[in-house]
Structure 1
């Protein structure tokens, strides 16, 4: 007979009653069904379908509550609590939450999920056979996804981040599209695992997956960057020692703009006649 194991639904016989619940058996092993885990009426000799887990004392126990996940499944589950030493706990529908180890979490703790976020997880086991949560991978999420149509470009989608790594993050959108947000498209925003995020579709790939951006469209970005330069000029009596010849490092430090973005925005202001340049300086026209 197969050994009883946490994470599974099994049918066990009610062998005897105790002051704190019932002992169930498969004929070889007994497990406790605590009174708090009982749903409805229970009778001796009855065959019950229960879910097995490890209780707070690491003993194999049973519950009649319906779990949100069993072994072999991967689902989006809500984060119930975060423990910086151990990891993240997710609600699986029974009285004991499922621990997703800190080893599964991003190296940067700022990118750890928060209570209320959603993690895509499955069930695994440690060396002692205790049930643990593991983050789902692309092969686990593919069955839940579908290809995005080319018409999705420039439209906004909302999705949940299921994987974070050094280049960015992967999301599954509410419509079932797998999406990638590169860190350069996040405008300096540090995303976190399990976060729900709204972003614009920049590109629909040939395989039906999409690339996202948090940056505004170019024309909108030019206007915003140009306004930033104008505000800087106004704060310096209409002149600044920066031009399209200024080094990229200085422009990034002073304006948080790449040289290409600075030149585009400055070019817009020059074309509109709002500024002029002389000897490496930029000046605000007096009537502005």
Structure 2
């Protein structure tokens, strides 16, 4: 079956004036217009294409890679707003429609918005929604504590940044665990720090506990090497200063320099830490 809004690997059936007709093993066909036809091909070859509806609502194939496909989240630019809704650039000739009822707040031309692409059941068209939370469900979790996860920054709150976890769940990174600039739509790696009652997910960027020592120790060594073997930081330094210089918490910093000190890699003095000469 040819899947709308998805990549399909199809067979080249015949070469016609408007383009190549492609088919699956169930007898379904779709046109690949001439503009997308590869320079060299043979009838019977397999070709991967993205399938969607064109401006005349005809099913069509393309070899162009879209910015988003069915079931995915992505940041898209609004090209135009009409009396029906917004039209977003998703990398193809046709724009992706986002009706007003699916806008978390009114979209404006030229703005960028985090949306999810899905197939509207009534029209059977690919559409977008910026009401991303309605596509997330924490009822049955597919992640465990300390598991590494893929994140998309969703929207900020007073206590942190809400994130989409593995494209399925909603999580939160608290402000005191954010040590870098994060913008809506950013794709990040993180760890499930804690699962609270109600399956609420606390997320941390990077790794937790003892796993965090080695990467942070490496970062401190790199900073020392880049600064002639000295950093004006120690275990009494202000947490905000540590955050600005190293993008890590004071707790992680103290663990890391403790490890380096035990390894006799650094000296810790009142004015800062020094890289020991080998």
In the alignment, which residue of structure 2 is the partner of 1:171? 164
In the alignment, which residue of structure 1 is the partner of 2:48? none
1:133 is displaced (CA, Å) by: 6.9
In the alignment, which residue of structure 2 is the partner of 1:244? 235
In the alignment, which residue of structure 1 is the partner of 2:212? 221
User: Is 1:260 matched up with 2:251?
Assistant: yes
1:152 is displaced (CA, Å) by: 1.2
1:174-206 deviation per Cα after TM superposition (whole angstroms, max 9, x unaligned): 5x544334455565252535x776543222222
1:250 is displaced (CA, Å) by: 3.2
| Structure 2 unaligned blocks of 5 or more | 1-54, 60-69, 122-126
In the alignment, which residue of structure 1 is the partner of 2:116? 118
The whole-number CA distance in structure 2 between the counterparts of 1:80 and 1:234 is: 37
The question of whether the paired residues in 1 share the 8 Å contact of 2:229 and 2:275 is answered with yes
The whole-number CA distance in structure 1 between the counterparts of 2:111 and 2:262 is: 43
1:270 is displaced (CA, Å) by: 1.5
The whole-number CA distance in structure 2 between the counterparts of 1:110 and 1:186 is: 25
The one of 72, 78, 82 aligned to 1:83 = 78
- Taking structure 2 as the reference length, the TM-score comes to 0.51
In the alignment, which residue of structure 2 is the partner of 1:148? 141
The question of whether the paired residues in 1 share the 8 Å contact of 2:242 and 2:248 is answered with yes
The change in CA–CA distance for 1:164 and 1:208 in structure 2 (over 3 A counts) is: same
**SS in structure 1 at match of 2:182:** coil
The change in CA–CA distance for 1:279 and 1:171 in structure 2 (over 3 A counts) is: closer
User: Is 1:201 matched up with 2:192?
Assistant: yes
The whole-number CA distance in structure 2 between the counterparts of 1:82 and 1:266 is: 44
The question of whether the paired residues in 2 share the 8 Å contact of 1:244 and 1:263 is answered with yes
How many correspondences in the alignment? 197
